[in-house]
Amino acid sequence: MAIQPLQQGSNAERSRHRNRKAVLGQVRAAGTMGRAEIARALALTTQTVSNIIAELSEDGMLLEKGRLSAGRGLPAIQYGLNPEGGYALGIEVRPDAVFAALLDLQGQAVVTERVALDDNTPAAVLGLTQAIYGRMLAQVPAATNRMLGVGIVMPGPFGVTGIAGMGTDLTGWQEVDAAALFEDALDLPVVLSNDANAAAMAERISGVGQGIASFAYLYFGAGLGLGLVHGGQLVRGAFGNAGEIGHIPVNGAKLEDGLSRLSVQRHMAAAGKDARDIDALEALFQSGDADLMAWLSGACETLGHAMTIVENMFDPQTVILGGAMPDVILDYLVQNTALPVVSVSNKADLPHDRLVRGASGRMTATLGAAALILNNALSTPLAQAH
Amino acid sequence: MAIQPLQQGSNAERSRHRNRKAVLGQVRAAGTMGRAEIARALALTTQTVSNIIAELSEDGMLLEKGRLSAGRGLPAIQYGLNPEGGYALGIEVRPDAVFAALLDLQGQAVVTERVALDDNTPAAVLGLTQAIYGRMLAQVPAATNRMLGVGIVMPGPFGVTGIAGMGTDLTGWQEVDAAALFEDALDLPVVLSNDANAAAMAERISGVGQGIASFAYLYFGAGLGLGLVHGGQLVRGAFGNAGEIGHIPVNGAKLEDGLSRLSVQRHMAAAGKDARDIDALEALFQSGDADLMAWLSGACETLGHAMTIVENMFDPQTVILGGAMPDVILDYLVQNTALPVVSVSNKADLPHDRLVRGASGRMTATLGAAALILNNALSTPLAQAH
DNA sequence: ATTGATAATTCAAATGATTTGAGTTAATCC
DNA sequence: GGATTAACTCAAATCATTTGAATTATCAAT
């Protein structure tokens, strides 16, 4: 989380490292590719790509996928990711539970676990996490020597700020260096993030955000969060707390007062209905519950405000909506929200819809935690614009 | 402006290029540095830095600045930027004028010009720009072979969007590729940007933003703009229109309705007073004009809203306020705005003030245009966080 | 069916930039 | 004054990429 040295020099070894990642990223994005094709995309020579591919195949990260004849010339041998070539662990620490997922290099969840927590102190969580990790490796022995790292999602904001977030619900975590603790406990490289950022990465790696370099992700957590991806990388802000959109006031109320899990729950509770569970919410929606529909109408309006802010601040290619809500409700919101007219995104011939539903479902943030690691393994910081 | 290839591979030549920039950036940030010191900062060997410094000295970009004895050992030869080692041209195209500035490598304005325009079509502006450039080179012949590029600032937003901006005031520019036109006319590498982004870069290169990797710049243009710097680079959004904060509605009105040049002008005009000129505004302020003070009181409140949005969306190290306003008014706003309590930036022990006044004065955007070029010459895209 | 054009791939040598290791210089510390 | 420390230089080694020539396999045209 600390701010890194602003610049780092380059040498042969670091170039190679970078180029390996670039090749993997390119192949992943395209599904399969030939050497020459990759070389053109990366502005490298075929020979270089050949060397790197030999190395990556040796390491088990790439697989031959036959030859593809495209016009004249020798048909190119196609290469694709070997899903079993690398694994990333995602851990989501909630106040009352720990979710975990093991993703393969392709971004597929191989094993997932959800464990309830009655003690969320660091010692307890770390012990539980170790146990989960052990069980997962036992189920997927191939992963043992191929772990790329672990992504940890914890409720933000990080550090003591003016926002009393869920952070207060995790006892004993405020003062500790969580990343260091997990690194010690699991002996893996660690990336720490909040839920919205992780969710955005989940979409980038295996959802709607694939191939989109700049997008924003509006996340239904307890509150309303925002993950920002620019040039293929997360924009985290100086202290890792960028995207706390829920606390922005519009017309006297905070955005998340009208658009969040807590918001529906309160609204429905006031009508004497229980909407704490996702399935309960879905059932209410399916039955056309009048109270829920009333809430949705307000939520659409609030979402419109949020869109205005996000689009005008970031000018993203698209905004993805997801998180702890049933898909049907997310779809309803996407379809019934009037997109802002006064917006830099309001223009003709857009290649993407301005607002779309996320694809990664209920465990988005957990998957995203692992996706943070995959993204590191498959992409290099963006080349400079000229 | 187009989205660049997402990844580019690296090779020896590109590494050298990158390392040269990194050395220059490091030296610039520190004022003067020794070889070994630079090497440590960039994770390179002294030998490499030695080679690069020899090359940069040869090229006239670095100068020896004596030896510095720091404790034991051989005192390190200090190197500093040679201000005359490189120049960047900044051009600001306004509907009724063209401003230009020639900056040296150190970021100092060597020559500036302001020319009124009665014809702002591409042909006229390009011709005028060529003439200005010619006059500047005549005044600073040393710059002739040392031009790094030209930054162009034009009113955004770019492309046809839902925002009817000043863009419409420039006739004939909507459909053309402005960057290509300027590149042809001046035979220099071109960077195109809006005023707020450029202003942010001006602060980063020679103002309050020096050494700050992540900050936001609230810019008084005709409306209210925002420049975002993250990891030392501009966040421009997918289509170059990030930061159009002025159009975000708060309590029914747009932010720029209460916080912009147009806003004061209208407010004062309603009171029968002329505030179109910066000096007129300053005089009104100095005389404690009641109407102006009333506007300021509202502006402070609006600025508070803007701060809430910016801080919670970006979590910057600081927010810089500047643009077409007299310094005394900017200072007043900085000092009298109640900083938002509900904000991720509201925390103890901040290394920077949350809101500060910009340092680059009235020609900020013009200087910033050139600063965009300098920033390219002096920094590499940020290394990856781990 | 043969021939020529095209394009992917490989091999071996060259190139470019960084690193390595030994040696020199000039300060401070004791 | 000698030991220690640190910056700097030189020459050789190393690493990864590039270059250029040769090979292979397909398509297209005769």
Pair A99, A363: CB distance under 8 Å = yes
**DSSP-derived secondary structure letter, A210:** T
Question: Please, where are the H alpha helices in chain B?
Answer: 12-30, 35-42, 46-58, 122-139, 178-186, 195-206, 255-258, 261-270, 278-286, 290-314, 327-336, 364-378
- Which residues in chain A are contacts of B26 at CB distance < 8 A? 7
The residue behind tokens 């600063």 is: B371
Among all residues of chain A, which has the CA nearest to that of B52? A9
Paired strand residues for A234: A229
pLDDT band at A347 (very low <50, low <70, confident <90, very high): confident
Contacts of B161 (CB under 8 A, 6+ apart): A343, A344, A345, A346, A347, B241
Q: Residue B45: phi, psi to the nearest 5? A: -85, 160
Which pLDDT tens digit goes with each residue over B47-68? 999 999 999 999 999 999 988 8
Distance (Å, whole) CA A223 – CA A266 = 12
Cα angle: B200, vertex B201, B207; to 5 degrees: 85
Instruction: Find where tokens 């969040």 sit.
Output: A260
pTM recorded for the entire structure: 0.92
pLDDT at A99 over 80: yes
- What b-and-e string marks burial along B316-350, b requiring 16 or more CB atoms within 10 Å of the CB? bbbbbbbbbbbeebbebbbeebebbebbbbbbeee
A22 and B9 within 8 Å at the Cβ level: the answer is yes
pLDDT at position B69, please? 80
Question: Is residue A72 classed exposed, middle or buried when 0-12, 13-18 and 19+ CB atoms within 10 A define those classes?
Answer: exposed
Q: Which nucleotide is nearest to B17 (CA to C1')?
A: C17
- Residue A318 distance to chain B (closest CA, Å): 9
Say which of B160, B163, B343 has its CB closest to residue A348.
B160
Assigned superfamily of B86-199+368-377: ATPase, nucleotide binding domain (3.30.420.40)
Mutant choice from B1, B3, B4, B7 vs A, greatest count of A C-beta within 10 A? B7
For the segment 73-112 of chain A, residues whose CB is within 7 A of strand D: 73-75
Q: CA of B58 and C1' of C17: distance in angstroms?
A: 18
Report which of A157, A155, A158 is spatially closest to residue A169, judged by C-alpha positions. A155
Cross-chain residue pair B163–A386, CB shorter than 8 Å: no
Q: Where do the structural domains in chain B lie, given as residue ranges?
A: 13-81, 86-199+368-377, 209-363
> Are A303 and A179 a contacting pair, CB within 8 Å?
no
A251 in reach of chain B (CB within 8 A): yes
**Nearest chain A CA: its distance from B238 CA (Å):** 5
B314 contacts A235? CB cut-off 8 A: yes
Minimum distance, in Å, between the CA of residue A245 and any CA atom of chain B: 6
Nearest CA in chain A to B384: A381
- Whether B163 has its CB under 8 Å from any CB of chain A: the answer is yes
**Rounded-to-10 torsion of CA A249, B209, B367, B180:** -70
- Our CA-based measurement puts residue B17 at a distance from the nearest CA of chain A, in whole angstroms, of 9
Q: What is the pLDDT of residue A164?
A: 60
> How far away is chain A from the Cα of B273, in angstroms, using its nearest Cα?
31
Could B344 and A26 be called an inter-chain contact, meaning their C-beta atoms sit closer than 8 Å?
no
d(CA A272, CA B222): 51
How many whole angstroms from its chain centre is CA A205? 7
- Which nucleotide has the least CA–C1' distance to A78? C8
User: What confidence score (pLDDT) does residue A67 get?
Assistant: 84
pLDDT at B157: 74
Q: Which two tokens stand for residue A15?
A: 């170039």
| Section A280-290 average pLDDT | 96
Chain B hits for A314, CB-CB cut-off 8 Å, are 235, 237, 242
Across the interface, of A7, A251, A382, the residue whose CB is closest to B25 is: A7
Note down pLDDT in tens along chain B; length 386 residues: 333 446 789 999 999 999 999 999 999 999 999 999 999 999 999 999 999 999 999 999 999 998 888 888 899 999 999 999 999 999 999 988 999 999 999 999 999 999 999 998 999 999 999 999 999 999 999 999 999 999 999 987 777 677 665 445 778 888 889 999 999 999 999 999 999 999 999 999 999 999 899 999 999 988 999 999 998 999 999 998 999 999 999 888 999 999 999 999 999 999 999 998 899 999 999 999 999 999 999 999 999 999 999 999 999 999 999 999 999 999 999 999 999 998 989 988 888 999 999 998 889 999 999 999 999 999 876 543 33
Cα Rg for chain B, rounded, in angstroms?
Answer: 22
Q: Which CATH number fits domain A13-81: 1.10.10.10, 1.20.1050.90, 3.40.640.10, 1.20.1600.10?
A: 1.10.10.10
Residue A6 clears pLDDT 80, i.e. is over it? no
- Put simply, whether A145 touches B (Cβ < 8 Å) is no
Interval A146-169: pLDDT, tens: 999 999 999 877 766 776 654 457
B74-131 pLDDT per residue, tens: 999 999 999 999 999 999 999 889 999 999 999 999 999 999 999 989 999 999 999 9
Looking at the complex, does the CB of residue B351 fall below 8 Å from at least one CB of chain A? Answer: no
Residues of A in contact with B19 (CB under 8 A): 9-10
Higher-scoring residue by pLDDT: A339, B349: A339
Chain C nucleotides reached by a protein CB under 7 Å: 4-12, 15-21, 25-29
| Upper half-sphere CA count for residue A78 (Cβ side, 13 Å) | 12
CB-to-strand C contacts below 7 angstroms: A 9-12, 34-37, 46-47, 50, 71-77; B 12-13, 15-16, 19, 43-45, 47-48, 51-52, 67, 69, 71-75
Q: Is B218 exposed, middle or buried (0-12, 13-18, 19+ CB in 10 A)?
A: buried
CB B216 within 8 A of CB B322: no
Instruction: Decide yes or no: CATH 3.40.50.261 for domain B209-363.
Output: no
Return the pLDDT at B6: 64
Candidates B1, B6, B49, partner chain A, best to mutate (most A CBs within 10 A): B6
A6 in contact with B, Cβ within 8 Å: yes
Average per-residue pLDDT in chain A? Answer: 92
Phi and psi at B323, nearest 5°, equal 120, -155
User: What residue of B is the nearest CA neighbor of A10?
Assistant: B15
pLDDT tier, A175 (very low <50, low <70, confident <90, very high otherwise)? confident
A48/B385 Cβ within 8 A = no
Question: What pLDDT sits at residue A222?
Answer: 82
Q: What is the mean pLDDT of residues A267-289?
A: 94
Question: In the prediction, which pLDDT does A379 show?
Answer: 87
- Cα distances (Å, whole numbers) of residue B43 to A377, B23, B31, B377: 21, 11, 19, 20
Q: Do A343 and B161 touch (CB under 8 A)?
A: yes
CA distance B153 to B369: 6
Q: Report pLDDT digits (tens) over A41-93.
A: 999 999 999 999 999 999 999 999 988 878 888 999 999 999 999 999 999 99
Contact (Cβ atoms closer than 8 angstroms) between residue B224 and residue B218: yes
Interface test with B, best of A312, A346, A375, A376 (most B CBs within 10 A): A312
Distance CA B295, CA B283 (A): 15
Minimum-distance CB partner of B41 among A5, A189, A235: A5
Nucleotide C17: nearest residue by CA–C1'? Answer: B12
Burial of A138 (0-12, 13-18, 19+ CB in 10 A): exposed
Q: Would the Cβ of B74 be found within 7 angstroms of any atom in strand D?
A: yes
Confidence of residue A174 (pLDDT cuts 50, 70, 90): confident
Q: Do B44 and A9 touch (CB under 8 A)?
A: yes
Contact call for residues B305 and A255 (beta carbons, < 8 A): no
Q: Dihedral of CA A45/A46/A51/A54: which sign?
A: positive
Please tell me the predicted confidence (pLDDT) of residue B364: 94
Nearest nucleotide relative to A71: CA against C1': D27
Chain B contact for A163 (CB, 8 A cutoff): yes
Contact list in A for residue B48 (CB cut-off 8 A) is 9, 11
A209-363 shares the fold of A86-199+368-377: yes
Distance from CA of A314 to the nearest CA of B (A): 4
